[in-house]
Amino acid sequence: MVAYKSSLEFAKEKDQQDPLKAYREKFHIPVINGIETVYFTGNSLGLQPKSLGSYIEKELEEWKNWGVEGHFEAEKPWFAYHEFLTSKVAKIVGAQENEVVVTHSLTTNLHLLMVSFYNPTKSRFKIICEKKAFPSDQYALESQVRFHDLNPADTIVEVGPREGEHLIREEDILKAIAEVGDELAMVMIGGVNYYTGQLFDMKMITEAGHKVGAKVGFDLAHAAGNVKLELHDWGVDFAAWCSYKYLNSSPGGVSGMFVHNRHADNKDLKRFAGWWGHDKSTRFLMEPGFQPIPGAEGWQLSNAPILGMAAHLSSLDLFEEVGMDKLIEKRIDLTNYLEFIINDLSERKGDLCKFEIITPKEESRRGAQLSILAHGMGKPLFDKITKMGVIADWREPNVIRIAPVPLYNSFEDIYRFGECLEKAISNG
């Protein structure tokens, strides 16, 4: 176990020993009011890779030179541009290549997938999700239920923390699945909870859902590029994720989706279709009668948003260079050091402000994010560290979310955060 120290010298030494230290220089670190920020909101919007501009400029040049012919004559032909992303994304989420596609936006993809995998009947119609899921997921589930003329109050079963606790016990999720049993049509949970940073055992949840005959899917917005995923091996039916958090691919960037290959050739699955999901060999014949491409590509609607995908590719190439295993190794070390700094400060300054980390302590049950309750100060403390150059995230009623990202955050960032936190406390 690493013997962490709360000192600048220790943090700098850790950075010198970091095999991924050079990657920080590949990102633009925001400078606000003349201060290089301590940027800890990669769980909301990842930083811009310095290479991103050249990827987009390349496609702008192709557009300038070729016009519509760029769909076939560009160096990376636009009609197949999404295919240049496929193998890289598949490695990040633990999937086979035919199981993933990059297209649309996150909630759009979740809706498209639920059209196929939420097919309620009179006897099997209920959905299990986590309480305090991200609001977009809640709205998507409610609207899917209403689309089928069902009442969300009777249909959606939320599993939340027990009284006085912050985290959801996985045994309670499994219990809910077993109790709903034959009435359960779908489990749809965020792989990493956006509020607490809790990482769920997706393999175990998938197995439990399948045991009672339900389909199982995950929103991986806070998991993709952050934690180890093995979607194929876990047997997950479907999943979707955004590209703009840990995957650093532009504000509101494109989304990925996963469909397990056991569903690849099932043309009987209901779906909302578009021509880009139609059989490639006959797509341009423009004939009636939708014939889906086997695999995840069959859920595409429209042709690729090239500039957004180019931005995504710039980041995916960095992930390809490093590999998820090395990123996860550093992420664990960074997060553990952050935990040490917070607990050390809480012990020394507990009479002024006591910190409570509500994210699981176990490395296997969390990713990069630590969610902190600041007992005694709350929002004023957050406002003070923001003015000092710490870019973090505040969530009501009283949580500060901190997410050190291994591609561009350093151990010195974490030490500086601790310094700012201590100054904010000491200055009242």
State pLDDT tens for residues 361-389.
Answer: 999 999 999 999 988 787 889 999 999 99
pLDDT 10s digits, 57-101: 999 999 999 999 999 999 999 999 999 999 999 999 999 999 999
Task: For residue 223, give Cα distances in angstroms to 185, 315, 396.
Answer: 24, 16, 22
pLDDT value of position 129: 97
Q: To the nearest whole number, what is the mean pLDDT of the chain?
A: 96
φ/ψ of residue 301, rounded to 5: -110, -60
Mapped onto helix, strand or coil, the DSSP state of residue 328 is helix
**Residue-range domains of the chain with CATH:** 8-36+323-426 (3.90.1150.10), 54-321 (3.40.640.10)
The DSSP code sequence of 185-248 is EEEEEESB-TTT-BBP-HHHHHHHHHHTT-EEEEE-TTTTTTS---HHHHT-SEEEEESSSTT-
pLDDT 10s digits, 189-248: 999 999 999 999 999 999 999 999 999 999 999 999 999 999 999 999 999 999 999 999
User: Which residue carries 């710039």 as its tokens?
Assistant: 314
CA geometry: angle 72, 75, 77, nearest 5 deg: 35
The DSSP code sequence of 301-317 is -S---HHHHHHHHHHHH
CA geometry: angle 413, 54, 104, nearest 5 deg: 85
The span from the CA of 304 to the CA of 295, in Å, is 17
The span from the CA of 408 to the CA of 404, in Å, is 8
Q: How confident is the model at residue 9 (pLDDT cuts 50, 70, 90)?
A: very high
pTM: 0.96
Task: For residue 246, give Cα distances in angstroms to 133, 146, 176.
Answer: 19, 32, 31
Average pLDDT over residues 102-106: 97
Mapped onto helix, strand or coil, the DSSP state of residue 357 is strand
pLDDT for 307 beyond 90: yes
pLDDT for 350 beyond 80: no
The span from the CA of 81 to the CA of 306, in Å, is 7
pLDDT for 428 beyond 70: no
The span from the CA of 275 to the CA of 286, in Å, is 8
Report the largest interatomic distance among the alpha carbons of the chain, rounded to a whole angstrom.
Answer: 73
- Closest by CA to 209, choosing from 261, 269, 159, is 159
pLDDT 10s digits, 117-157: 999 999 999 999 999 888 899 999 999 999 999 999 999 99
pLDDT for 351 beyond 80: no
pLDDT for 1 beyond 70: no
pLDDT value of position 245: 98
